Chains A and B, each alone.
Chain A
Amino acid sequence: MPKMVEIRWHARGGQGAVIASRYLAASAIRQNLYFQAFPQFGTERMGAPIVAYTRISDAPINLRCAIEEPDVVVVLDPTLLKSVNVTANLKEGGSIIANYPGTPEELAKELNIDGKFKVYTLDAYKISTEEIGRPIPNTPMVGALARVLGIISLDNVLAEFEEQFSHRFKPEIVEKNLKAVRRAYEEVQGV
């Protein structure tokens, strides 16, 4: 793996980007990776566009500056694809992973980024609605991100979910979420 991966998250307040980032970090701890996550410092409101950042590394992370040019962009809310420049400053050849009902080709065309970046799509709303019964994009997107990054195993992502949430949710809810994460890992397009 490269020494360090820098990720930028686009979501709306209340969609669980922070929880997703925490969940991914906890999965990374299982593999002795280092992790740093911070919101775009400021005030957050339910429904408003938010940005958050994550660094994952195989060595302790010293950097304390903002992430200017991320390697990966994750978009939790498809409506942001049109209202926010989600690929701004994305490194050349970097990856965008979006909650999007279409194919990577359709998204690349829609964003007019054909060939510049690696594009991955996942219909996270469809998966979470079918498996969990509500359109919650965060946990499926972690599954998709784990697949694309290729540095955190699906087993660790699933095990971490069980550990963190089994005392908070009923077993059948946990099982539904695990299924959603597993499906996302398998169904993300563009891999």
Chain B
Amino acid sequence: MREYLNGNEAVAHAVRLARAEVVAAYPITPQSTIVEEIAAQIARGEMEAEYIRVESEHAALAACFGAAVSGSRVFTATSSQGLAYMFEMLHYVSGARIPMVMAVANRGLAAPWTIWADHQDSVSCRDTGWIQLYVETAQEALDTCLQAYKIAEDPRVLTPVMLCLDGYVLSHTEEILDIPSQEDVDRFLPPYRPQVLVDTRRPVVFGVGAGPDIYPSFKKAQQEAMERAKEVIKRVDEEFYAFFGRRYGGLVEEYRCHDAEVVLVTLGAITGTAREVVDSLRREGAKVGVLRLRALRPFPVEDLRESVKSARVVAVLDRNCSFGYEGVVCTEVKAALFGLKQPPSVIGFVAGLGGQDIRKENIEGIFRSCFNSDV
């Protein structure tokens, strides 16, 4: 069914279609309308779920943790300061291997106070043990939310997924998208069947204390699960394609990279504008391409290396900054390409912080400066 929705509404529909049973969230702009729409769907009887109103984001994630270990498929959403407030619980959830999905409508962090988009919030949570998937369109937000449950709940993964969509640019932009039917989603995404759950008849302990003798084995298991998640993310994207006719490249999405001399690496919605710039520069004969990282964690090292094979220069557009160094994705890309026989130069660009518009001319400027660089 073709409908006209914004990114937040798209996510809310996906959560309904995924038959999430418990939703706990605390409102924060620009996420709020996701959980408002979910609450409305529950109130209208379109969705059968428990909506728990909580006093904070920290409590929201704690409530989701509890519901998930008792066997429910759960969902929450947040942004910016709210995500920062969840920081402690993020580790609890991933460490206890709770397969849940959280949408992050990306927004910059205060101070100075801002409600507008950048990736500082989720990128700052890079090392919390969550899978991070960044989407480019409202359609992809809906589709990836459905994929995310399947990835998270895969017994080889059992790792929570953060679904990152640019605040306003996706969360509040309305576009035409296709909403899958409940029947098709039910076939794609079977009910959540946890391997271990809180059950008074078979008592188990979650979040147990671990001494130095066994703690590292838990962490090693997390790392191995993340490595396995690479294949699972790709496979789930292909399965999704078989059901719904849409796919997003798995871990990375290439655009005209095969013979590109300069490849721009992006995260999120800005990729769309970059595609337009690539098309116009290609018409002038410039060999340029865009590589969108759909997954930041697990980091797609192998796919990245393959996609930039022909590139002389790799430019990285970061909507975040690791103060004292550079954009985080730039550092990641450099590390991933280190050790290649003839590695391309990597040049970082930090732009679009706190909602600053990234225009076609800005991206064109990035490409041109890379061609002119004598590195």
A and B from one assembly? Answer: yes
B201: interface (CB < 8 Å): no
Taking CB as reference atom, which chain A residue is nearest B363? A65
A62 and B168 contacting across the interface, CB-CB below 8 Å:
no
Of A39, A43, A61, A66, which is within 8 A of B175 by CB? Answer: A61
Q: Considering the complex, give the chain A residue whose CB is closest to the CB of B3.
A: A29
Q: Per-residue CB proximity of B164-199 to A under 8 Å, as 1/0?
A: 001011001111100000000000000000000000
Give Cα distance in the complex from A29 to B178, angstroms.
11
User: What residues of chain B lie closer than 8 Å to A42, measured between beta carbons?
Assistant: 115-116
User: A63, B273: Cβ atoms under 8 Å?
Assistant: yes
Q: How far is the CA of A35 from the CA of B172 in the complex (A)?
A: 14
Given contacts A36-B173, A38-B168, A62-B273, contact A29 B116 (CB under 8 A): no
| A63, closest chain B residue (CB) | B273
B residues 334-375 touching A (CB-CB < 8 Å): 355, 357-360
Per the bound structure, the CA–CA distance linking A15 and B172 in Å amounts to: 19
Given contacts A35-B4, A62-B273, A63-B276, A29 and B176 within 8 Å (CB-CB): yes
Is the beta-carbon distance between B116 and A41 smaller than 8 angstroms? Answer: yes
In the complex with contacts A29-B2, A63-B273, A34-B176 CB distance below 8 A = yes
Known interface pairs A35-B175, A62-B275, A64-B270; A29-B355 also in contact (CB < 8 Å): no
Q: Are B4 and A41 in contact (CB under 8 A)?
A: no
Q: 1/0 contact trace for B273-311 toward A, CB 8 Å?
A: 101100000000000000000000000000000000000
Is there contact, CB below 8 Å, between A36 and B357? no
Question: Contact: A38 with B172, CB < 8 Å?
Answer: yes
Which 4 pairs of residues, A with B, have the shortest CB-CB distance?
A: A62-B272, A41-B168, A38-B173, A64-B269
Chain A, interface size: which category? 20 to 34
Q: Which residues of B contact A21 (CB under 8 A)?
A: 174
A26 neighbours in B (Cβ, 8 Å): 4
Closest to B358 in A: A65
Contacts of A25 in B (CB 8 A): 4, 174, 176
Q: Closest B-chain residue to A25, C-beta based?
A: B4
Contacts of B359 in A (CB 8 A): 65-66, 68
Q: Does A81 contact B (CB under 8 A)?
A: no
**In the complex, A133→B276 CA distance in Å?**
46
Chain B proximity mask over A20-44: 1 for CB below 8 Å, otherwise 0: 0110011001000011111101110
Partner of B276, one of A22, A62, A66: A62
Residue of chain A at shortest CB distance from B268: A64
Question: Which of B175, B270, B275 sits near A36, CB closer than 8 Å?
Answer: B175
Give bound CA distance, A63 to B276, whole Å.
Answer: 7
Chain A, residues 54-77, CB within 8 Å of chain B (1/0): the string is 000000011111101000000000
- A63-118 CB contacts (< 8 Å) to partner B: 63-66, 68
The complex places the Cα of A26 from the Cα of B173 at a distance, in Å, of 15
Per the bound structure, the CA–CA distance linking A22 and B269 in Å amounts to 21
Q: Give 16 pairs: A residue, B residue, CB < 8 Å, sorted on A.
A: A22-B4, A29-B2, A34-B175, A35-B175, A37-B174, A38-B168, A39-B172, A41-B115, A42-B115, A62-B272, A63-B272, A64-B166, A64-B169, A64-B271, A65-B357, A65-B359
Given contacts A38-B172, A62-B276, 15 further A-B contacts (CB under 8 A): A22-B174, A25-B174, A34-B175, A35-B4, A35-B175, A36-B175, A38-B173, A41-B115, A41-B168, A43-B115, A64-B166, A64-B173, A65-B273, A65-B360, A66-B357
